[in-house]
């Protein structure tokens, strides 16, 4: 991965910017260029809520190279409070503490590094809400 592709996507990754189709009243994350339902190309950029409910989760034992040193790590399917579904890593949590239905919030986190002297890649992960929300 090079820096242009990183810079290009960072606002969507850091701030959870989705694309919204007014015709279908649907939000798409990852963001899309056209609505997969009606084909509308005039999609609006909207910020997703940074809080939601964990629908279910798994943990990954066979990662890709970028995440080699992080496995096993937890991946969850989250329903954000506006109903948008997102798949994300869960962090700051022990596997034993997880259960379906807990409240989770988005946090800014390091994803992986490109060797000792390469770029450090950041993004969004989710963690159990620190205070009840």
Please say which residue, 96 or 132, places its beta carbon nearer to other proteins: 96
Shortest separation between residue 129's beta carbon and other proteins, angstroms? 20
Dihedral in degrees, nearest 10, Cα atoms 68, 69, 74, 77: -40
Stretch 69-88: interaction string toward other proteins, x if CB under 8 A: -x--x-x-x-------xxxx
Tell whether residue 126 is a contact of other proteins (CB under 8 A): no
What are the helix (H) ranges across the chain? Answer: 3-15
Tell whether residue 67 is a contact of other proteins (CB under 8 A): yes
Closest CA to 106 of 41, 70, 82, 8: 82
Please say which residue, 106 or 132, places its beta carbon nearer to other proteins: 106
Query: CA–CA distance from 32 to each of 75, 76, 84 (Å)?
Result: 22, 22, 14
Stretch 22-61: interaction string toward other proteins, x if CB under 8 A: ----x-xxx-----x------------------xxxxxxx
Question: Which residue has 């034993």 as its token pair?
Answer: 96
């Amino acid at each position: 991965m090079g820096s242009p592709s990183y810079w290009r996507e960072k606002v969507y990754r850091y701030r959870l910017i989705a694309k919204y189709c007014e015709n279908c009243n649907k939000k798409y994350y990852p963001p899309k260029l056209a609505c997969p339902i009606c084909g509308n190309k005039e999609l609006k950029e909207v910020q997703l809520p940074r809080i939601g409910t964990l629908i279910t989760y798994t943990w990954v034992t066979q990662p890709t190279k970028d995440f080699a040193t992080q496995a096993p790590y937890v991946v969850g399917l989250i329903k954000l409070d506006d109903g948008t579904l997102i798949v994300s890593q869960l962090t700051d949590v022990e596997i034993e503490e997880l259960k379906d239905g807990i409240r989770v919030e988005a946090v800014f986190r390091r994803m992986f590094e490109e060797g000792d002297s390469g770029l450090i890649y950041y993004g969004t992960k989710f963690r159990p809400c620190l205070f009840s929300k």
